[in-house]
Amino acid sequence: MDSGDNSSRDKGISRKDFLKSSGALAAGFSILPSSVVSGLGHKMPSDKLNIAGIGVGGIGRANLNNMSSENIVALCDVDLDYAAKTFNDFPKAQVFEDFRRMFDDMGDDIDAAVVATPDHTHYVAAAEAMRLGKHVFVQKPLTHSVYEARKLRQIADETGVVTQMGNQGNSADGIRKICEWIWNGEIGEVEEVHAWTNRPIWPQGLERPTETPSTPPTLDWDQFIGPAPWRPYNPAYTPWNWRAWWDYGTGALGDMGCHIIDPVFKALQLGQP
C-alpha cells in the first residue's frame, strides 16, 4: 500500500542539501531530509501509513500488530469488551463502534483500512473504504457471497486502490514448496485431491435460540447485525459462534477451506470453474 507520491524521495539527497544539513549539525541542530533518515534504516513519521482497523477483537488484532511500524490511528469494533486488548495495544488510536462514523470523523486522516469483521460485513466495510479512496486489507473469506466478491473487484477497478485479501497460509513457504513439487512432477500427474480439516470446532446443528437475554452494554447489536436479517441478541451468535450461522459466517468452507484448498487451486492452476 502506498499513500502518496514517492518520486521526491526517490531522488535521494543532493550535495547542496547535504551541506546544509552538515552546517546545521555543526551549529547543534539538524533537520534531515527523509531520504537521509530512510538511509539510516529509520522511517520518517510522514512516510508512514495511517491505518484504521475495522473488526479488531480477533484476527484483526494480529493483523494490526503486524503493521505496528505504521500509524494505527483508528480502531472500530462493535464489541468494546471483546476488542479491549487491541485498544490497549494502540492507546493513541481513536475508538469507534460504527465504521461509517469513523470515516466521517477521520476520513482525511486515514490512508488504509484492515477489515477483519465477521464474514457478513466484510463487503460493506471494504466497499465503503475503497469508495473513499482507502487501500484495504480484507481478511478471508473475502466476502459472504460470490456476488459481493465480484462487486469488490469492480470497485477496486474503478477506484484503483491497493487491495489484498488476508490468507496467511498463502504468504508462507509451505505453499510455495507444494507448487514447486507439483510443477516439477515430483509425485507425477495429479488426478484427484482430498482436502480435510478438523473444523468446525464450534457448535453445529443448533436450533434457533428462543431466549432473549439483555444485550451487553459494551455490544452494539445493531452494528453487529449489519446487512443480515434482524433478530434479537443471543450469546449463541457472537463473539465466537457466528461462523455456525449462515447469516453471519460461511462455516468451515470460509474458515479453513480458504487455507487448505488454496494450495490445490494454486499448484494445479485450476482457474475459473
Copy the grid coordinates of residue 254: 470460509
Q: Give the structural domain span for 108.
A: 45-168
Q: Is residue 153 part of a domain?
A: yes
50 & 31 share domain: no
- 177 domain-assigned: no
Last residue of some domain: 168, 200, 219?
168
117 and 32 in a common domain: no
- At residue 205, the pLDDT reads 72
Q: Which residues contact 253 (CB under 8 A, 6 or more apart)?
A: 141
- What pairs with residue 136 in β-bridges? 113, 163
What letter represents residue 41's amino acid?
G
Do 167 and 91 form a contact (C-beta atoms < 8 A)? no
Residue 170's pLDDT band, with cuts at 50, 70 and 90, is: confident
How many folded domains does the chain comprise? 2
Q: What is the pTM of this model?
A: 0.81
Whether residues 59 and 146 share a domain: the answer is: yes
Q: Would you say residue 201 lies in a domain?
A: no
Q: What is the pLDDT of residues 102-151, one digit of tens each?
A: 999 998 999 999 999 999 999 999 999 999 999 999 999 999 999 999 99
DSSP letter for each residue of 120-184: GGHHHHHHHHHHTT-EEEEESSS-SSHHHHHHHHHHHHHH---EEEE-GGGGSHHHHHHHHHHHT
Write the CA distances from 139 to 79, 166, 201, integer angstroms.
18, 4, 20
- Condensed to tens digits (0 to 9), the pLDDT of residues 4-22 reads 444 444 445 554 454 445 4
What's the rounded mean pLDDT across residues 16-29? 47
Cα–chain center distance at 169: 15
